[in-house]
């Protein structure tokens, strides 16, 4: 654990101590450090309010300034349970009893002044050694131990950094993030909505929102065709027998997140949470020779996962997840070439979005946790081969990558592409995964050059990943001002008066012939209101048509991006767009 991680962990204890001072009846949950701060979960009769955060933070700073020692000591497990019961800390009692069941004979505690917490540590020596560059950032609900059937706790989040500049940069980023919130912009721009009658976490996309989704999919499909993905599309149903996921290994890992479907017979069906098991069955339906490989299958389809209500967040976390999914069945000698091709598709796609730039992306080479190999299915030699191959792909493509232990999927290692948005936040989007496990579990075969049966390797790939989450990232990255190729409406025509509408319709017709998405703003609105409407909708180009434009057969073009305005012939404007 790095020094700043330890300091963040200190702050979670200082937070809990401050809360216990101000609210003596509070029940303590858990309080770890996070990537940029810390949190602590509490059970309280009266929920905390945002204004309480200021009081709690003030109390934390006072505890910091007092330089109170963190004193560690151990207690026999039964004695620890008795102590926690006496302290009326029921949540901690449950944790301690579970540790006893796991074979622990004594438990670690940390004490600073009157505050005592069950904790393995480590901590700094004194409270004043934790960073002063912190703030309490937000409140949220959190089910005890992540179980939706258990009580809802209140979580207090904080952020903490090594320097004042980092904290100030974070504050500025949060201000900018608030302006770019995809939930606010999505409503303002008319891209998607939610309905209580449909259900939480199930977004409904409008015509404009659907246009953006379709444009994303078309761009990926066009790129794939350039790299040999010709007739690769497949189509699968939205439900499947439970048996399919038991065979794939997903059932044991994800059964609590799967929607069940009640049919008329006794067969148990579920809404599909992922597509790869279905695709194995398309491969298995025919006999294959090594000459047939690689066999590529791609599909844009919706999966369903029963997310906890408290974790749903706009398009970022939903229950209906549309994936631009792909699976390649190939020989082991073809894995690297297929992965190299996918890297090129990812590079082209994110370059067009302005996100594949040095310093704005990195790649996680996600491999096994060497300390706990029991979490992974499959043969160790195959894992070794797959991890080596993906590392070679990263090296050969000059990717900025880090080897991260413990982040592999249960069936194979992967390359996870992490991209920064316009305000510096990091998102995991594209992925490439090598899988020896699923072909084995489904007994997939092809006939090799030697006439013998062999197992194919399955390469999983996603370019945008979940379209819902990807759209939330794009909306916030571009602050709703999409580049012209991605904007649902590319051009707004604004005739100054009724006499200019005939020419406006001519311009519209000519633009539409060139596949430009164009609208004429309602002439019943005032000219000023029409201009403001185009600005509010962040239309890339607005064309004003008055006497001069009609006479000269030109268009007066205003760019939303740089606010420039110039008179152009229609041909020149088309060249600019196309």
* Catalytic site includes residue 500: no
Catalytic residue among 89, 119, 180, 276, which?
Answer: 276
CA distance 64 to 128: 5
182 is catalytic: no
Burial of 117-144, coded b for 16+ CB within 10 Å and e otherwise, reads bbbeeebbeebeebbebbbbbeeeebbb
Answer for the pair 331, 450: CB distance below 8 angstroms, yes or no. no
Closest by CA to 48, choosing from 15, 27, 23, 31, is 23
Q: Which residue has the tokens 């409270």?
A: 127
* Residue 527 near residue 514, CB atoms below 8 Å: no
> Which one of the listed residues 27, 224, 323, 433 is annotated catalytic?
323
Query: Is residue 65 exposed (0-12), middle (13-18) or buried (19+ Cβ within 10 Å)?
Result: exposed
Pull the structure tokens for residue 119: 């904790």
* Structure token pair of residue 344: 């090129």
Residue 578 CA to residue 568 CA, distance in Å, equals 15
Helices (H), 316-403: 335-352, 380-396
Q: What is the DSSP code string of 379-439? A: -HHHHHHHHHHHHHHHHHTT--EEEEET-SBTTB-EEEEEEE-TTS-EEEEEEEEEESHHH
Alpha-carbon span 414 to 437, nearest angstrom:
13
Q: Which of 414, 508, 530, 538 is catalytic?
A: 414
Catalytic residue among 10, 117, 324, 325: 325
Distance of CA 435 to the CA centre of its chain: 22
Q: Give catalytic status of residue 323 as yes or no.
A: yes
Residue 411 CA to residue 429 CA, distance in Å, equals 19
Strands 134-143 and 192-193, by their bridges, are unpaired
Whether 36 and 134 have beta carbons less than 8 Å apart is answered as no
* H-assigned helices in 288-371: 335-352
Among candidates 173, 200, 251, 461, which has minimal Cα distance to 338?
Answer: 461
* E strand or H helix that includes residue 95: helix 90-101
DSSP secondary structure of 206-243: -HHHHHHHHHHHHHHHHHHHHTT--S-B----SEEEHH
User: Catalytic annotation on 305?
Assistant: yes
Q: Is 276 a catalytic residue?
A: yes
Packing angle, helices 3-22 and 50-65, rounded to 10: 110
Active-site residue, selected from the candidate residues 9, 454, 460, 500: 460
| Catalytic, out of 272, 327, 336, 508 | 327
Q: How many residues belong to the chain?
A: 578
The residues that are catalytic are: 276, 305, 323, 325, 327, 414, 460
């Amino acid at each position: 654990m790095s020094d700043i991680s330890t300091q963040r962990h200190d702050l979670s204890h200082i937070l809990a101590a401050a809360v216990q001072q101000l609210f003596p009846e509070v029940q303590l949950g858990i309080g770890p450090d996070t990537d940029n701060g810390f949190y602590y979960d509490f059970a309280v009769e009266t929920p905390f309010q945002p204004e309480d955060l200021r009081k709690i933070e003030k109390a934390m700073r006072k505890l910091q300034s007092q330089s109170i020692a963190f004193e560690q000591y151990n207690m026999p497990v039964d004695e620890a349970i008795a102590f926690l019961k006496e302290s009326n800390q029921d949540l901690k009692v449950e944790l301690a009893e579970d540790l006893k069941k796991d074979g622990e004979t004594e438990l670690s505690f940390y004490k600073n002044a009157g505050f005592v917490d069950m904790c393995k540590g480590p901590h700094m020596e004194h409270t004043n050694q934790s960073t002063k560059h912190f703030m309490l950032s937000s409140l949220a609900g959190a089910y005890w131990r992540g179980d939706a059937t258990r009580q809802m706790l209140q979580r207090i989040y904080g952020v903490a950094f090594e320097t004042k500049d980092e904290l100030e940069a974070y504050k500025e980023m949060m201000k900018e993030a608030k302006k770019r919130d995809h939930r606010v912009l999505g409503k303002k721009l008319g891209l998607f909505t939610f309905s209580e009658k449909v259900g939480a976490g199930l977004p409904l996309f409008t015509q404009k929102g659907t246009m953006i989704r379709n444009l994303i999919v078309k761009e990926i499909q066009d790129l794939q065709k350039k790299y040999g993905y010709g007739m690769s599309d497949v189509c699968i149903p939205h439900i499947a027998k439970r048996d399919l996921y038991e065979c794939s290994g997903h059932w044991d890992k994800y059964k609590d997140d799967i929607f069940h479907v009640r049919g008329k017979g006794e067969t148990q069906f579920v809404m599909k949470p992922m597509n790869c098991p279905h695709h194995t069955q398309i491969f298995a339906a025919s006999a294959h020779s090594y000459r047939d490989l690689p066999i590529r299958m791609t599909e844009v389809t919706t999966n369903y996962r029963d997310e906890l209500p408290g974790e749903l967040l706009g398009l970022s976390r939903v229950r209906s997840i549309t994936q631009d999914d792909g699976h390649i069945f190939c020989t082991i000698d073809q894995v690297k070439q297929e992965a190299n091709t996918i890297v090129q598709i990812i590079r082209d796609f994110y370059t067009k979005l302005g996100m594949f730039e040095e310093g704005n992306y990195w790649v996680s080479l996600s491999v096994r946790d060497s300390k706990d190999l029991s979490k992974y299915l499959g043969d160790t030699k195959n894992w070794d081969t797959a991890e080596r191959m993906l590392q070679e792909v990263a090296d050969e493509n000059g990717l900025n990558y880090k080897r991260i232990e413990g982040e592999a999927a249960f069936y194979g290692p992967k390359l996870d592409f992490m991209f920064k948005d316009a305000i510096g936040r990091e998102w995991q989007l594209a992925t490439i995964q090598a899988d020896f496990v699923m072909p084995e579990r489904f007994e997939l075969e092809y006939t090799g050059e030697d006439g013998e049966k062999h197992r194919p390797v399955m390469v999983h790939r996603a370019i945008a990943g979940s379209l819902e989450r990807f759209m939330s990232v794009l909306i916030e990255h571009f602050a709703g001002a999409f580049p012209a190729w991605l904007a649902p409406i590319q051009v707004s025509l604004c005739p100054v008066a009724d006499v200019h509408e005939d020419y406006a319709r001519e311009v519209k017709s000519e633009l539409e012939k060139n596949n430009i998405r164009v609208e004429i703003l309602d002439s019943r609105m005032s000219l000023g209101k029409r201009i403001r409407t185009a600005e509010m909708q962040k239309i890339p180009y607005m064309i004003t048509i008055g006497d001069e434009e009609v006479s000269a057969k030109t268009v007066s073009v205003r760019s939303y991006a740089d606010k420039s305005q110039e008179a152009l012939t229609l041909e020149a404007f088309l060249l600019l767009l196309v």
